[in-house]
Amino acid sequence: MHEKRKHYRVAMKEIKESPAEGIYVTNEELRKCGLYAAFLFVMLTILAIFNRKN
């Protein structure tokens, strides 16, 4: 059973994509950043393990 809506959303202004409003990252760029972050994390982990053994 549908209830009657008590409120509606009204757009105050149209949102346009522009460099002034923020930075847009493509999926490919996000994937590259993720790979670099994972590589850096693995390298730092390896360095931390080897420094403990010495």
- Residue-level pLDDT, tens digit, the chain, 54 residues: 567 767 767 777 776 766 666 777 788 989 999 999 999 999 999 998 887 655
Q: What is the pTM of this model?
A: 0.52
Q: What is the pLDDT of residue 13?
A: 73
Q: Can you list the alpha helix ranges (DSSP code H) found in the chain?
A: 27-53
Return d(Cα 45, Cα 53) in angstroms, integer.
Answer: 13
Q: What is the pLDDT of residue 24?
A: 75
Q: What is the pLDDT of residue 15?
A: 67
Q: What is the pLDDT of residue 42?
A: 96
